[in-house]
Amino acid sequence: MRELLYRIAEGYVPTLSEIENILSLNEEDAEILFKIADDIKKLYFGNSIHIRGIIEFSNYCRANCKYCGLRCSNDKLIRYRMSKEEIINCAKEAIDAGYKTLVLQSGEDLYYTKEILGDIIKSIKEYADISITLSIGERKFEDYKYLKEVGADRFLMKHETADELLYNNLHPHSTFNNRMSCLKNLKQLGYQLGSGFIIGLPGQTLRTIAKDIMLLKELDVDMAGIGPFIPHKGTPLGSEKPGSAFLTVKVIALSRILLKRVHLPATTALGVLDKKYRDKAFFAGANVIMQKIEPYNYRKLYEIYPKTLEDKKSIKQERQELEIYLKGLNLEISNDKGDALIL
């Protein structure tokens, strides 16, 4: 196994069966996987972690993903939309607190036209030279094009699962083909592209995950969010089992060894499921963390999956505490925007 992992580190592309074997490693044997991933991460990114601020600005969604608490059929959820001014003020406060990348995320909410989003992006960019990532789901090519032209730098939209049948079953409002064409459009438009997938979706196998990892390679992504499934009672998958935190860390580690330059977060979902494994991910290939920065009254309503809320603090105080926490793990905090690493 050690030899296979070193070969992958040197450029060998593993078969799907080999990937399945790697992902089956037990806790003790997985240490070598984590060690090699950590070495590669340090080679490309040093010991520093990028902190991205995420503004979850609307929980309205026209889509109906079977795993997500924001799905349009969940009529128990109180919906909110942040105004343009609220979003811009939140962004400015975050920039003043030291954020160099902001992620604007929402359900698929067409209330925010390309012009409204464009105004928000332009105002933030006028205020400071930071990077803006959009995570707003599937839109028309023209919308993506306009938003790129007015200053959006990156786009995050997970492929969720590489199994086309499973994808189409979990997303009754759309298709795998449509997802792929959106991702390809974004790449073609010059966005720094983020994809990713969920670990532990009902119906997923290790073979599916092997295909998920290879799809990241094929899409030539610049970043990838890999997080465990967490069941939400207001969804059709509410009584299913959560994904495995240990398997998630193994997938992050193997993705690092295979993809090398790609930004990989220790995902929020992993932290919600198991903080110990979230921290472990920083020593198994992950080099990014996302911190929510929208006002508290909205955070509890952005309920993709159940989670506990931290105490109310200012954006600056939360950032400082996160920095202290990461430094306590002997990690450094990156001072740059953390753009895609192009080799």
Residue 54 binds to ligand SF4 (criterion: CB under 6 A): no
The helix (H) or strand (E) run that includes residue 98 is none
Give me the DSSP letters along 319-341. HHHHHHHHHHTT-EE--S-----
In eight-state DSSP terms, residue 58 is E
Q: Which stretch binds ligand SF4 (CB under 6 A): 28-36, 66-74, 122-130, 193-201?
A: 66-74
Shorter beta-carbon distance to ligand SF4: residue 44 or 60? 60
Residue 109 binds to ligand SF4 (criterion: CB under 6 A): no
- Minimum distance from CB of 3 to ligand SAM (Å)? 34
Residue 267's Cβ-side half-sphere holds a number of Cα atoms within 13 Å equal to 22
* Contacting residues toward ligand SAM, per CB under 6 A: 67-68, 70, 105, 107-108, 135, 137, 157-158, 160, 198, 227, 229-230, 232, 269, 304-305
Cα distance between residue 271 and residue 228, in whole Å = 10
Residue 331 binds to ligand SF4 (criterion: CB under 6 A): no
Residue 222 makes CB contacts below 8 A (sequence gap 6+) with 154, 192, 193, 194, 261, 262, 263, 340, 341
Residue 279 interaction partner, one of ligand SAM, ligand SF4, none, beta carbon < 5-8 Å per kind? none
- Minimum distance from CB of 157 to ligand SF4 (Å)? 9
What residue is closest to ligand SAM based on CB? 68
- Minimum distance from CB of 136 to ligand SF4 (Å)? 9
Can you tell me which of 107, 228, 231, 243 binds ligand SF4, judged by CB under 6 A? Answer: 107
Burial, 85: exposed, middle or buried (Cβ in 10 Å; 0-12, 13-18, 19+)? exposed
Residue 71 interaction partner, one of ligand SF4, ligand SAM, none, beta carbon < 5-8 Å per kind? ligand SF4
Bridging pattern class, strands 101-106 and 154-156: unpaired
Three-state secondary-structure class, residue 269: helix
Number of residues that bind ligand SF4 (CB under 6 A): 9
The binding site for (3R)-3-methyl-D-ornithine comprises 135
Cα distance between residue 180 and residue 213, in whole Å = 15
Residue 229 interaction partner, one of ligand SAM, ligand SF4, none, beta carbon < 5-8 Å per kind? ligand SAM
Q: What are phi and psi of 310, to 5 degrees?
A: -75, 170
Residue 192, beta-bridge partner list: 154
Shorter beta-carbon distance to ligand SAM: residue 50 or 159? 159
Can you give the binding site for ligand SF4, defined by CB under 6 A? 61, 63, 65, 68, 70-71, 107-108, 137
